[in-house]
Amino acid sequence: MTTVLDATRVLAERARRARELVVDMAASPRGCHLGGSLSVMDILIAALERANRDEGTRVVLSKGHAAAGLYAALHVSGVIEENPAPVYGLPGSPYTGHPGPKVPGIAFPTGSLGHGVPYAAGWAMALKLGGRHGLGVAIAGDGELQEGLVWETVQVAVARRLGNLVIVVDRNGGQNDGLVADISPLPKLAERFTAFGCDVLEVDGHDLAELSAVFADDREGADRPLAVIAATVKGMGVPAVQGRAGAHYVTIGEDRAEKWKRTIR
């Protein structure tokens, strides 16, 4: 019998392997958005596990700059057969710096921030109209919440009573030019989502058991979208960059990548 503990261990191993691939992509000629790819990894692994066993559920990485994390997560989750790391960013490869629909498992192009939330909302609405089972899952960054389109969509989703829409905020506190708190802070974020009419959960974004429990909920009968505020750490799992705002975009050499991979936890 598979226990919750066993299942979590499987996911943890996937997350560890995926983090290795992300470091490999940071060592590619292009480099990658390392910090955000690592902070969102556990959320991605848990969400894709739900999507893998439920064809009605679609996961949209709205913070598309974490594409390296998404490709790695899709690979270790069995959606992408080939290892994307060796060809990441190269001519002839679909694994561009922001994800597009040529990659298996990616339904919507993201990278221009804000758009993934309405894509997922539209998917959730289609499910609801058809009386079908599943979730529309959008994974957004906390910096991304500065985009008006996110809130425009939340307002529509609440009005349309899309209880099967799950918006996960990867709250790593960083954005391109610095800290969210310094640039355009998000005071009372949970209260803000609540005020818009969402259900709200605050979770540890690196606790795979907790995340899996969130995504296991079918939200049958729910009529308020769910906002999951996931506390995360930029660069999580790679001690050399963990918690460092400067790890937003990183290009490293192969020697350093090998060293970093040996320290992944």
State yes or no: residue 71 binds another protein (CB under 8 A): no
Q: Given candidates 86, 104, 112, 191, which one binds another protein under the rule CB under 8 A?
A: 112
Using the rule CB under 8 A, is 122 a contact of another protein? yes
- Contact positions with another protein (CB under 8 A) in 183-242: none
Nearer to another protein, 19 or 63 (CB): 63
Q: How far is the CB of 115 from another protein (least distance, A)?
A: 5
**Choices 27-35, 124-132, 181-189, 193-201 (CB under 8 A): range interacting with another protein:** 124-132
Identify residues 90-109 at the interface with another protein (CB under 8 A): 100-101, 107-109
Integer Cα distance of 262 and 19 in angstroms: 11
- Is 160 one of the binding residues for another protein (CB under 8 A)? yes
Q: Which is nearer to another protein, 156 or 179 (CB)?
A: 156
Please identify which residue in 130, 185, 239, 253 interacts with another protein, judged by CB under 8 A. 130
CB of 137 to another protein, least distance (A): 12
Minimum distance of another protein from residue 51's CB (angstroms): 14
| Interface with another protein (CB under 8 A) | 58, 100-101, 107-109, 112, 114-115, 118-127, 129-130, 132, 136, 149, 152-153, 155-156, 159-160
